Structure 1
Amino acid sequence: MSAPLSLGPARPVPLSAVNPVAQLSAVLVVTCVLLVSGDPVTPGVLLAAELALLPAAGLSRPGDVLRRTWPLLLSALGVAWVNVAFGSLDGGEAWLSGGTWALRVVALALPGILLVASTDPVRLADALTLHWRVSTRFAYGSLAALRLVPLLAAEWETIRLARRARGVDGGRNPVAHVRLLASTAFALLVGAIRRGSRLATAMDARGFDSGVTRTNARGSRLQPLDRWFVVGAVALCAAAVTASVLSGAWSPVFS
């Protein structure tokens, strides 16, 4: 059976010193720039900076990076292939367009991977409720849902192995594999709904839906490092756009 999915760092990493809301603010800045830019230079510069932060998030080993990013890489390759195969451009322009879209997909999603790898979900929920005034019911409900994700991954593996032990296998028939996948997903969905209902009842019983203002035992503080982190993200985005303009590649999506 595969190792359980982790939604937080197993040990403190350098990037975890940055407050989660500061990381989220930096992610929003990068996201806005990437959504506007349609050239390969801007996402290329930002992606290089994001890759440089991987060791600070505790992802220095290639195996750890690949384990967390393989769905993202497959998605980027799929986006590139769709643009090359079904786009209106031909030849080198089609490949350039596909590569640009792939770069944008990776550059957009990688900050989220860095955030998840370096931030304890409990610390994130505390920061959201204290600094961004997010509803405690929403923040801690989302936290509880995130805590269930490793259980869903483990339950998926349990269902798959149990069916294989009973001789339920698709064999070499792709249609049978699709049906087996759909039935496994349905069984997982039913279990998730039941578990979510029990969790919602337990949280209501503990007063999460009482409407009373809740206090916070752990607290969350913004340090000078957090402000400099956001300023650095803004400066990096400005440098990426400047490099794109000076190279003549700048091409806004909405132009």
Structure 2
Amino acid sequence: MSIQALDRPRARRGPVATVNPVAKLGAALLIAFPLVLTIDVVSALTALVLETVLFVLAGVGWREFWLRTAPVWIAAPLTALTIALYGAASGDVYVEWLFVRVSEGSLDLALATLFRILAIALPGVVLFISVDPTDLADGLAQRVRLPARFVLGALAGMRLLGLLVDDWRALALARRARGVADAGRLRRGIGMAFALFVLAIRRGTKLATAMEARGFGAPGPRTWARVSPWGAGEWWLLAAGAAISACAVTAALLTGSWNLILGPS
């Protein structure tokens, strides 16, 4: 099996997995936009429940789902706990000790923040599990019409991130072989970081020269090796993201829990 084959994401059969990455990005932004404007339990919980349909259609196994989203499930409760302990107090105060003040208002705000983080972060993680960086770059350049120089430069940088890990491991093994890696961890880490920085600059310079020699910076319209597809599936995904946002906002307005945070104080 070639390195290129290992670098590609595993093929998935979910209807959402094969959708253009730009549509996935647009759907995630459509879902997140109204949730950024308000902090309330109803809108975030409504969006989170409706998002489960997208999670099922994404073609991600349950084990992979929990592994990939584990940082979100850890960060959301910790953030809610911080707000519950140190948030603005209002209503009945249940616990008060030094800087800690747990009140009715702080608990409501903590619960809303918990669901809000989950509703915003989970779609972005799940929808992008099956995204290939090259497909995303093709979509951004051909569909969103972003500058080709910016898109290709970002793609090249993403492709080289894995090499930094390999370079760091090679530097550590080389220093250990020379007998200079057994003491002074801080000094060794700073030296390796500087050496890695120098290697990154040299590789970036060579890559820029090679790309320019191949005409990546030439003026005029650019051709693409692969066409970024766009069809009914992409429109349906964007419509689903807009529908989730509309349902979340409607539910919050009908229950009177809509809490606009960008309004006048």
Normalising to structure 2: TM-score of the pair? 0.76
> Aligned-pair distance for 1:114?
2.5
- Does residue 167 (structure 1) correspond to residue 182 (structure 2)? The answer is yes
Quote the offset at 1:207 in angstroms: 1.4
What pairs with 1:74-93 in structure 2 (closer than 5 Å)? 74-89=74-89, 90-93=102-105
AA aligned to 1:123 is: D
How far apart are residue 120 of structure 1 and its match? 1.7
Partner of 2:134: 122
Distance in 2, matches of 1:86 and 1:142, equals 39
User: Would the aligned equivalents of 2:10 and 2:130 in 1 still touch at CA under 8 Å?
Assistant: no
The change in CA–CA distance for 1:226 and 1:99 in structure 2 (over 3 A counts) is same
Q: Which residue of 2 aligns with 1:173?
A: none
Which residue does the alignment assign to 2:97?
A: none
Contact 2:38/2:258 (8 A) holds in 1: yes
Structure with the greater alpha carbon radius of gyration: 2
The equivalent of 2:94 in structure 1 is none
Asked if residue 200 in structure 1 is aligned to residue 201 in structure 2, the reply is no
> Cα distance 1:151–1:50, how it changes in 2: closer, same or farther (>3 A)?
farther
Is the alpha carbon distance of 1:188 and 1:23 closer, same or farther for their aligned partners in structure 2, counting shifts above 3 Å?
A: same
1:106 corresponds to: 118
Shift of 1:199: 2.2
Deviates more, 1:179-188 or 1:112-121: 179-188
Deviation at 1:155, TM superposition (A): 4.4
- The amino acid across from 2:117 in the alignment is V
Q: Which residue of 1 aligns with 2:73?
A: 73
User: Relative to structure 2, which stretch is displaced further, 28-37 or 86-95?
Assistant: 86-95
- 1:248/1:180 Cα in 2 relative to 1: closer, same or farther (>3 Å)? farther
* Residues 1:222 and 2:230 are matched in the alignment: yes
Query: Residue 91 and residue 236 in structure 1: after superposition, are their counterparts in 2 closer, same or farther (change >3 A)?
Result: same
Residue aligning to 2:254: 246
TM-score by length of 1: 0.79
**Bigger proportion of residues as helix:** 1
Q: Deviations over 1:50-70 (max 9, x none)?
A: 3443343342232x2243223
Amino acid at match of 1:65: F
Pairing partner for 1:133 from 145, 155, 160: 145
Q: Structure 1: where are the runs of 5+ without partners? A: 1-5, 171-175
Q: Secondary structure at 2:227's aligned position in 1? A: coil
Distance 1:181 1:74 in 2: 29
Distance apart, 1:190 and its partner CA: 4.3
Identity of counterpart residues, as a percentage?
Answer: 36
Deviation at 1:237, TM superposition (A): 1.0
Tell me how large the CA RMSD over aligned residues is.
3.0
8 A contact 2:17–2:59 mirrored in 1:
no
Q: CA deviation at 1:136?
A: 0.9
Task: Report whether the alignment pairs 1:144 with 2:159.
Answer: no
CA distance in 2: counterparts of 1:214 and 1:185, whole angstroms: 37
Moved more, 119-128 or 98-107: 98-107
Deviations 1:20-46 (A, max 9, x none): 222222122112111112112212222
Q: 1:68 to 1:162 in 2, by over 3 A?
A: farther
How many equivalent pairs are there?
Answer: 242
**Counterpart residue number, 1:3:** none
Closer, same or farther in 2 for the Cα pair 1:227/1:93, shift >3 Å? same
How far apart, CA to CA, are the structure 2 residues paired with 1:7 and 1:44? 36
CA distance in 1, matches of 2:206, 2:128: 26
